[in-house]
Amino acid sequence: MKYGYARCSTSEKEQDINRQIRELEQMGAEKIFDEYESGTKTDRVKFQAMLDMAEPGDTIIALEVSRITRSTQQLCEIINIAKEKQLKLIIGTFVVDCTEPLDPMTEGMLKMMGVFAELERNMISQRVKSGMRNAKAKGSKLGRPETTRESIPQIVYKHYPQYKAGKLNKVEFARLCELSYPTIFKYLSIIEK
């Protein structure tokens, strides 16, 4: 079985994972696991499910090392799992066949790819923090803007009378407005002040 793994760090509203899915299908992935989680997180539910499901001789496909993990330590653990389970890893055009003893050059190259993925993540983090310090020094207010009555979407006001009349509960109201329950709860606390 050929498993594909696609990952984005931020929500589906901010990043589109479909490009990865299409490319994984083109690379022959028969079952694709996709999730929105940080690459440094060690307890990614779908990634772990894929590893648990994989059997000796199966293949795991990802477009880049950074999609599998942004941690060199975790990559080493994944390589060990692939060796134990005798899996084949395809990362972009790089093939690592762990169904046979892994040659040191291939393993070293894969680990170097992991080092560069972690380095890239650390550099991005450093630039973001530097940019935030710079913006703060210039007097910019950081974080999410304050929610006001004016910033609440009109669809909430459109369906609010139904909620107020008791025709909708908060869950139905949130679904109708295509918003999360916590967001509707926040908006209601402002509207009903």
pLDDT in tens, the chain (193 residues): 999 999 998 766 667 899 999 999 999 999 999 999 888 888 899 999 999 999 999 999 999 998 998 888 888 899 999 999 999 999 999 999 998 888 899 889 889 988 998 899 899 989 999 999 999 899 888 888 888 889 899 999 999 999 999 998 989 999 989 998 889 989 999 998 8
The total number of structural domains in the chain stands at 2
Are both 26 and 76 inside the same structural domain?
Answer: yes
Residue 38 and residue 70 in contact, taking contact as beta carbons nearer than 8 Å:
yes
Kindly name the residue from 9, 11, 38, 125 that is annotated as catalytic: 9
Look at residue 135 and tell me if it is in a domain.
no
Q: Do 27 and 63 fall into the same domain?
A: yes
Q: How many residues does the chain have?
A: 193
Distance CA 44, CA 62 (A): 15
Domain extent, residue 17, equals: 2-124
pLDDT of amino acid 140 = 87
Please, which residues have CB within 8 angstroms of residue 2's CB and are 6 or more apart in sequence?
28, 29, 30, 31, 58, 59, 61
- 72 within domain boundaries: yes
* Domain assignment of residue 140, yes or no: no
Q: What is the CATH number of the domain that holds 109?
A: 3.40.50.1390
97, 107 in Cβ contact below 8 A?
Answer: no
Q: Is residue 79 part of a domain?
A: yes
What are 98-117's pLDDT values in tens digits?
Answer: 988 888 998 898 899 889 98
Question: Do 156 and 87 reside in the same domain of the chain?
Answer: no
Same domain, 7 and 72: yes
29, 9 Cβ separation under 8 angstroms = no
- 9 is an active site residue: yes
